[in-house]
Amino acid sequence: MEINPNFVLEDCPICRGSGFVVHEGGWNVQVECSDCSAHTVYVEYSNEKEKAEAEKQVVMLWNMGKVLKQDSMG
C-alpha cells in the first residue's frame, strides 16, 4: 500500500471510517474504506503522469461521496 500525502481523503461517506488509496497491479487505483469496504470505481493509468491524475480523480470521487457499496458480491 502506498500513501501519498499530497491529497486529503475525507471520512467514508457510508460509515465515516477511514479511506485509503489502493493501487492494484500497477495500472489502476481506487479509494477503499478500511471499515465497510465501500470503494470508488477503478481508474486506470499507463504512466506516471496518468497515475497522478488517476489518484486525484479517485480521491475527488471519494470526497464527493461517489462510492460503491459491496452488497452480496464478495
| Contact residues: Zn ion, CB under 5 A | 12, 14-15, 17, 33, 35-36, 38
Report how far apart, in Å, the C-alpha atoms of 22 and of each of 1, 16, 29, 32 are.
6, 18, 6, 7
Name the CA dihedral angle for 74, 57, 18, 41, rounded to a multiple of 10 degrees. -10
- 11 is written with which cell numbers? 471520512
Residue number with CB closer to Zn ion (14 or 22): 14
Residue 16 beta carbon to Zn ion: minimum distance, rounded to whole angstroms:
7
Query: Which is nearer to Zn ion, 45 or 59 (by Cβ)?
Result: 59
For Zn ion, the closer CB: 20 or 27: 20
